[in-house]
A and B are shown apart, each in its own frame.
Chain A
Amino acid sequence: MIFVCAGFAGCTSPQSALDPAGTEAETVATLFWVMLVGAILIWLAVIGLSVFATRIRPKAYGETAGLRLIVWGGCVFPVVVLTALLVWGLQMMPPMRAEANGPTIAVSGERFWWRVAYGVEGEPGVSKTLPEGGTPSANEIWLPAGQRTELLLGSPDVIHSLWVPSIAGKMDAIPGRVNRLVVEPTKPGVYNGVCAEFCGDAHAQMALRVVVVPADEYEAYVARQGAPASVETGNAGFRAFMQNGCDACHAVRGTGAAGEVGPDLTHLASRRTIAAATLPMSRDNLAEFIGFTHRVKPGVQMPSYGMLAEEEIAAIAGWLETLQ
């Protein structure tokens, strides 16, 4: 019993397809359990039969008995089971791809982080590039519970794949193409997502958080993300940020920093993690990421700023921490 519990402890987690918190994940989990039970029954029958034929009644069985076993067990039974599974699986698919009734969010997989834009206008058909505009954010996707949100997935570099096991199956983010994934989270909570298609050095560190909240909270969150940063710009931290060229790649709306290469940092400190869920958000971790970028996360586009004085990095990290 203890072993069973230990074995199943992994099932209740923010990143488990066996602990579904979305309609698509529920469908997948049901399918999994039914097939698991079916597989166990078939296994028991096969093993039982071989024990019967070799231990319980070991004797030479006639040709007709063997033929009957092949026809019924090897042809009729598999055809019936596979047909039933195929029909059952196929009729699950249309509702999974049903139209969205909630917001549209653009998610771009970029080595090795997720660019997010809330409230974009999706175009009909398959477009080549993600729509422009929307409220920018990164590495954390908020979703309204009980609504069907449309995620538009794209990429400027290589193929990535967005997978939030608790909520839905995975969908590739492919350069030159926009894929659609409609998700319907049912339980508020914080879930983990990952990049599920190998994309380079830091692929394993390309994760994200998905925060599911009631619809009104979602609206309020997006409104907050859309507002410019309310932050001091007269201090040493901000000056160091601008002097060292961080603004070439990062935007902090309302301060003049308008880079577009890396994540939008306007509300960085409101996120739970930094660098695509590589480290928890904290002043120390910010300083570590700035000073030892490639040690923390090899392969990222951002240069390591190890040459800066420790106080300067601390000042930048302190300033970044106020970007609520």
Chain B
Amino acid sequence: MATGNKTRDTLWTLIAAPTIWAVHFALSYGSVAYGCAPNENVFADIGGFRIFVGGLTVVALVGIGFIFARALGEWRGNGGRMPHDEDTAAVRERFLEFSTVLLAGLSFIAVIYTALPVALMADCR
């Protein structure tokens, strides 16, 4: 149904970026909590877990960046205008693309904020 170009947007493509954010959040918090759980020495470095979260963050940001770029490109290709208030499939598509762009932007920032603590803290304190 997409007018001319690529992916047909659905609620699934819409929530893809926030899902990456959620998975990144759960894995980041889960892994560091696991690393700090015995808590024998709160001053010991948790370098391995920081690298893991760092790698995870890069993957998540690339994924979200890709979703952002795709949705933005398609929205622009479909006219790139507001409002999205007509009762047609084309406008619905454009609306979903635009919402995807906004959610991807939000998720991108959220993933960075999730990762910032391990960037600035080296141990379990």
**Chain A residues engaging chain B, CB cutoff 8 angstroms:** 75, 79, 82-83, 86-87, 90-91, 93-94, 97, 99, 124-126
Q: Which residue of B lies closest to A123 (CB)?
A: B40
Interface flags, B101-125, vs A, CB<8A=1, else 0:
0000100010011001100111101
**B53 CB → nearest A CB, Å:** 14
Q: Which 8 residue pairs spanning A and B have beta carbons closest together?
A: A97-B125, A90-B120, A125-B40, A125-B39, A126-B39, A91-B120, A124-B40, A90-B117
Q: In angstroms, how far is the closest chain B Cβ from the Cβ of A122?
A: 12
Chain B contacts of A125 at CB under 8 A? Answer: 38-41
**Chain A residues with CB below 8 A from B12, complex form:** none
Q: Which of A79, A90, A93, A94 contacts B109 (CB 8 A)?
A: A79
Taking the closest CB of chain A, its distance from the CB of B75, in whole angstroms, is 15
Q: What is the size, in residues, of chain B's interface with A at 8 Å between Cβ atoms?
A: 17
Decide: A94 and B117 in contact? CB cutoff 8 A: no
Known A79-B109, A97-B125, A125-B38: A90·B116 in contact at CB below 8 Å: yes
State A91–B125 Cα separation when bound (angstroms): 12
B125 touches A94 (CB 8 A): yes
Are A87 and B40 CB-contacts (below 8 A) given A79-B109, A94-B122, A94-B125?
no
A91 to B122, CA, bound (A): 11
- Nearest A-chain residue to B119, judged by Cβ: A90
- B91–chain A nearest beta-carbon distance, Å: 18
Known: A93-B120, A125-B39. 9 other contacts (CB 8 A): A82-B113, A90-B117, A90-B120, A91-B120, A94-B120, A94-B122, A94-B123, A124-B41, A126-B39
Complex contact A90–B121 (CB within 8 A): yes
* CB nearest neighbor in B for A99: B43
Interface hits, B13-63 → A, CB 8 Å: 38-43
Q: What's the Cα separation between A315 and B42 when bound, in Å?
A: 52
- What A residues does B39 contact at CB under 8 A? 125-126
Complex CA–CA separation, A125 to B125 (angstroms): 11
Q: How far is the CA of A125 from the CA of B36 in the complex (A)?
A: 10
* Sample (5) of A-B pairs whose CB atoms are under 8 Å apart: A79-B109, A90-B116, A90-B117, A94-B123, A97-B125
Residue from the set B38, B112, B116 with the largest chain A CB neighbour count within 10 Å: B116
